[in-house]
Chains A and B, each alone.
Chain A
Amino acid sequence: MSTAYPLPTNISPTTVANTASLLRIVAFGLISGAAIASRLFAVINFESIIHEFDPWFNYRATRVLAAKGFYEFWNWFDPTAWYPLGRVVGGTVYPGLMATSGVIYNFLHYFNLPVDIRNICVLLAPGFSALTAWATYMFTAEMKDPSAGLLAAAFIGIVPGYISRSVAGSYDNEAIAIFLLMFTFYLWIKALKLGSALFGTLAAVFYFYMVAAWGGYAFITNMIPVHALVLLLMGRFSGRLYVAYCSWYAIGTLSSMQVPFVGFQPVRTSEHMGALGVFGLLQIVAFASLVRSHVSSKQFQNLLAISVVTMGVLGAGAFVVMTYKGWIAPWTGRFYSLWDTGYAKKYIPIIASVSEHQPTAWPSFFMDLQLLIFLFPAGVIMCFRELRDEHVFVIIYAVVASYFAGVMVRLMLTLTPVVCVSAAVALSTLLDTYVEAKEPDVPEERMEANGSSAPDGKKTKKAGGAVGSQASTTAVAAASSAISDFVSATRSSASTPRQKGIWGADTRLVILLNAIGMLVFFVFHCTWVTSNAYSSPSVVLASTNPDGSQHIIDDYREAYYWLRMNTPQDAVVMSWWDYGYQIAGMADRVTLVDNNTWNNTHIATVGKAMSSPEEVAYPILRKHDVDYVLVIFGGLLGYSGDDINKFLWMVRIAQGVWPDEIQEPNYFTPQGEYRVDDRASEAMKTSLMYKMSYYRFSELYGGGNAVDRVRNQQIPKVGPTLDYLEEAFTTENWIVRIYKVRKEDTLGRDLKTANAFAQGKKKKRSKPVSRRRAIV
Chain B
Amino acid sequence: MSTAAITSEAGPLPPAGAAAHGAALGRFTQAILRNRKATAGTLILLIVVFVAVFPGLIARDDPQAAIYGQDLGPSTQHLLGTTLLGQDVFAQLIWGTRLTLIVTVVVSAIATLISMIIGVTAAYVGGLTDRALSLLTDIFLILPTLPLLIVLASYLPPGSVTMIVVLTLTSWAFQARQLRSQGLSLRARDFLAAARVRGERTSYIILVEIIPTMTSLIVASFLGLSVFVVGFAAGLQFLGLGNSTELTWGTMLYYAQQGGALEAGNAWWALAPGAAVAFMGAGFALVNYAFDEIGNPALRPVRKRRARTTA
Is chain B found bound to chain A in the same assembly?
no
Residues of B within 8 A of A (CB): none
Residues of A participating in the B interface, judged by any CB pair closer than 8 Å:
none
